[in-house]
Structure 1
Amino acid sequence: MHFALPPRKTSNPPPYTRPSKWSPTNAAHSLRKQRTLGVVIFCASLVAFFIFLRTVTPASVAAANIPAGTPEVVIVTVIDDKVSQAYLDRIKHNREDYASQYGYKTFYAHQKDFDLGQAPKSWALLPAIRKAMTEYPHTTYFWALSPHAVIMNPTQSLVERVMAPKKLESLMIKDQPVVPPDSVIHTFSHLKGHQIDFVITQDAEGLCSESMILRRGDWANFFLDVWFDPLYRSYNFQKAENHALEHIVQWHPTILTRLALIPIRTINAYTAQMSSRGGPATTIMDDDFVARAVGCEKDPTRNCEREMTPWFDTWKTKYDVKHSHGQF
């Protein structure tokens, strides 16, 4: 008699599979996990999209929100309280004539307009720029220009002459000591024109804030806040806001990363050779953009109005568009 043998056990049994234990509780938990994952993915995609808009196409997005008729540039001039009305009229005439050719606007303030406490009156420049930004909330560039300067050659807009990114890259002085001649802090070598928010010149004594350009934005707000800090205004800097500027540029990399030095005659040529401040390299030549009587307001032996009158007359004869049409 033969009996059936039981099946042999394989020496390679299949992997053990845990039986599924479905329950309404487990199903709900799984659904919640899927929904949470979906929300996380959606939020991450949304954040990435907004980062893309702000970093890849900022100019086009910003341009869409600028109202028609907004000036691209506002020229900011802070008037010395001592100037005569005739001199003030010449200053305004010069700037408004230039601005009218390119759709720009002008903004004037007096030093006495601002409560500076015991700080030198020259600090008024900073709240004046802030006030101009408030009055023109969509303007891109603010050009702060000394009242003792004349726009001599209006044949190009400020953007074409300086601020267009490729043009700015061709002008930028890289790896330059911020405070000459031997500051260990140098301008950066890797910056591109579109990264610059602050354009300024330099002579043999340091940075020259009497003609400088600031691009609107969060960085500009931060920069003006730092520069106008009460600690700096109360500190006895020899050259007030100018030395405060040199201090923060050297000690705050966040500011240096947005700064471009350009050749001084680009926007700030001197009307007379100042050997102690750069010599011939700073002195105005034919067809230069701006002429400025450097230091005249701080020297009691000099008279700014007398020094600048020949330059106003030269500009009026050669370039005064409104005057040539009988508007003045």
Structure 2
Amino acid sequence: MHFAYPPRKTSNPPPYLPRSGGTSRLPGLRRSRLKVIALVGIAFIVFIYILTRPSSSSGHGGSTTTKRRAPSGNPPVVLVTVLDEKRYSKAYIDTVKENRIQYAEKHGYEAFFANIHDYDLKNAPPSWASVVATRHALTRFPEARYVWFLDQNAFIMNPRLSLEEHLMKPARLESLMIKGQPVVPPDSIITTFTHLKGPDVDFVLTQDKEGLSSGSFVVRNGEWAEFLLETWFDPIYRSYNFQKAETHALEHIVQWHPTILQKLALVDQRIINAYNQPKQGAEYQEGDLVVRFAECDKIGPQACEIESKRLAQQWRKAFTSS
């Protein structure tokens, strides 16, 4: 007869037990083995703790903490723009820089310019530089409270509006959030959270007529922002050959990763991302913060420069009178 489990007792003693007489060494062996098991267990627990504990950071006094402290907010905002200085004229690039610098100086922000050709994207489309440049800015300005990425082919038109008061102040943001909105319109089954509160939002962007628009977005500095950008920039997504590169990759991860969706707020396009062509999205109106020359780069650099000339006169006038 065979047992599924060994019986509780046996008439044959184990080979390592003495059959008669003498002093058994079993207690000593047990103690030795228990010590080894205990040491291995402690080492395993320490190993798991090191892997899973929050990233540590050093304070001004040099002491190490187990939880990353909130950034001081100096500067409050870093305004990030990726420039293609090989493809566009120097005059156009200088106008874009001037626009960002003047706005940043007015509100005590920092303007961060990256060259699209400075990043090794492993043969991915150049537009992916927007993601890595945003991560680069967080490294350069670890005390910044927010990072605002704004596409090169855009101007800030209303210098009176600060990013905090216009968008990121919790009460203001909560009033602007579009709740229960399909992430990819018109009929995505994944929608923005209906119960999300302003203080819980770490990622703000808009939609246009085709889906998410990644030409202007804001992230709150912190560990979650690093997680977002590292996930977004994952080599797997860069190798997928999405039609709209990083934009379609973002739509994918937002719909498949609740940890990202739960920190995302969509706002009306005119808040930070109005377009100069109404057929592509919400049309810019005087008083809006931003105007983007959406899709002009698909025609060519000259198309962007032509569209920008009239708007450049407008923003300079607005900045002079503010």
TM-score normalized by structure 2?
Answer: 0.76
1:140 is matched with which residue: 140, 145, 149?
Answer: 145
Deviation at 1:251, TM superposition (A): 0.4
- The size of the alignment, in residue pairs, is 254
Match of 1:308 in 2: 308
Q: CA deviation at 1:234?
A: 0.8
Q: Distance in 2 between the 1:151 and 1:143 partners?
A: 12
Note if contact 1:272-1:283 (Cα within 8 Å) is conserved in structure 2. yes
Match of 1:290 in 2: 290
Q: Is residue 320 from structure 1 mapped to residue 320 from structure 2 by the alignment?
A: yes
Preserved CA contact (<8 Å) 2:201 2:265: yes
Q: How does 1:74-93 map to 2 (within 5 A)?
A: 74-80=78-84, 81-93=86-98
CA distance in 1 between counterparts of 2:156 and 2:142 reads 25
CA gap 1:105/1:174 in 2 versus in 1, 3 angstroms? same
- Aligned position for 2:77: 73
Identify which of 243, 248, 255 aligns with 2:260. 255
4+ residue runs over 6 A deviation: none
Indicate the residue corresponding to 1:181 in structure 2.
186
User: Residue 11 of structure 1 aligns with which residue?
Assistant: none
Query: Deviation at 1:299?
Result: 2.6
2:243 equivalent in structure 1: 238
> In 2, distance between residues paired with 1:174 and 1:240?
26
Structure 1: gaps (5+ residues):
1-60
Question: Aligned AA for 1:192?
Answer: K
Alignment of 1:192-231 (within 5 A): 192-231=197-236
What's the offset of the Cα at 1:318?
A: 2.5
Distance 1:98 1:238 in 2: 33
Q: Contact (CA 8 Å) 2:75, 2:108: kept in 1 or not? A: yes
3-state SS, counterpart of residue 130 of structure 2: helix
2:87, 2:301 within 8 Å by CA — same for their partners in 1? no
Amino acid at match of 1:76: V
Query: 1:157 corresponds to which letter in structure 2?
Result: S
Residues 298 and 91 (structure 1), Cα distance of their counterparts in 2 relative to 1, 3 Å cut: same
Name the SS for the 1:94 alignment partner.
helix
Asked whether 1:168 is paired with 2:173, we answer yes
Where does residue 269 of structure 1 map in the other structure? 274
In 2 relative to 1, CA 62–156 (structure 1 residues): closer, same or farther, beyond 3 Å?
farther
Secondary structure of 2:174 counterpart: helix
In structure 1, the residue matched to 2:110 is: 105
- Which residue type is aligned with residue 293 of structure 1? F
Do 1:97 and 1:320's aligned partners in 2 also have CA atoms closer than 8 Å?
Answer: no
Q: Which residue of 1 aligns with 2:120?
A: 115
**Contact 1:149–1:293 under 8 Å retained in 2:** yes
Contact 1:140 1:215 in 2 (8 A): yes
* 1:264, distance to aligned residue in structure 2 (A): 0.1
SS of 1:283 mapped into structure 2 = coil
Where 2:305 maps in the other structure, the secondary structure is helix
Does the 8 Å contact 1:227/1:244 carry over to 2? yes
2:293 and 2:151 mapped to 1: Cα distance? 9
Residue identity (%): 52
- What secondary structure sits across from 2:226 in the alignment? helix
Separation of aligned partners in 1, 2:136 and 2:165: 26
Give 1:319 deviation, angstroms.
Answer: 2.1
One-letter amino acid of the structure 2 residue matched with residue 164 of structure 1: K
- Letter aligned with residue 171 of structure 1: L
Q: Distance in 2 between matches of 1:240 and 1:170?
A: 31
**1:302 CA drift (Å):** 6.3
The answer (yes or no) to whether the contact 1:296–1:303 under 8 Å persists in 2 is yes
Kindly state the Cα deviation for residue 300 of structure 1 after the two structures are TM-superposed.
4.0
Q: What residue identity is the alignment partner of 1:319?
A: F
Q: Distance in 2 between matches of 1:163 and 1:66?
A: 16
CA RMSD after TM alignment: 1.7
- SS of 2:237's equivalent in the other structure is helix
Structure number with higher helix proportion: 1
Letter in 1 for 2:287: D
Hey, what's the Cα distance between the residues in 2 that align with 1:300 and 1:87?
A: 13
Which residue is 2:55 aligned to? none
**2:132 maps to 1:127:** yes
Q: Which residue of 2 aligns with 1:5?
A: none
Between structure 1 and structure 2, the one with the greater Rg is 1
Query: Matched residue of 2:101: which SS?
Result: helix
Any idea what SS the aligned residue of 2:164 has?
Answer: helix
Q: Which runs of 5+ in 2 are unaligned?
A: 1-67
Q: CA deviation at 1:88?
A: 1.1
CA distance in 2 between partners of 1:72 and 1:96 (Å): 15
